[in-house]
Amino acid sequence: MSQGIEFNRLMLDMRAMQMDAMSAPKATAAVPQLPGSSFSDMLGQAVNKVNETQQASSQLSTAFEIGKSGVDLTDVMIAKEKAGVSFQAITQVRNKLVQAYQDIMQMPV
């Protein structure tokens, strides 16, 4: 009989916890959303950053070509490589997005 009382007490405690959990405010998504922060905004910012990297590399290269003091060949080469790598990365992201879009469009409805 003592087990029946303990079981009933346990069930009452579980129901009380369930009611508390249901009455508590719902938690938001695990990843906090910043105002105006969407995937398209993030992708646009990434493209803009790649563009800025390429422009900076081009300016540095031009400055080296005209013989501006303080511009070293190693800096120019590093800037060119950074621009190239960032362009390749954004190209791969674009390719993956296009592939995902094509896969979704080919799904049977």
Q: Is residue 30 part of a domain?
A: no
Query: What does the alpha-carbon distance between residue 38 and residue 27 come to, in Å, rounded to a whole number?
Result: 20
Q: Which residue has the higher pLDDT, 101 or 21?
A: 101
pLDDT band at 32 (very low <50, low <70, confident <90, very high): low
Average pLDDT over the chain reads 83
pLDDT in tens, 43-87: 899 999 999 999 999 999 999 999 998 899 999 999 999 999 999
Q: Is residue 42 part of a domain?
A: yes
Q: What is the DSSP letter of 32?
A: P
Q: Is residue 46 part of a domain?
A: yes
pLDDT band at 1 (very low <50, low <70, confident <90, very high): very low
Q: Is residue 23 part of a domain?
A: no
Cα four-point dihedral sign 95, 52, 86, 46? negative
Q: Is residue 56 part of a domain?
A: yes
Give me the number of domains the chain comprises: 1
What is the pLDDT at residue 33? 56
Q: Which residue has the higher pLDDT, 30 or 19?
A: 19
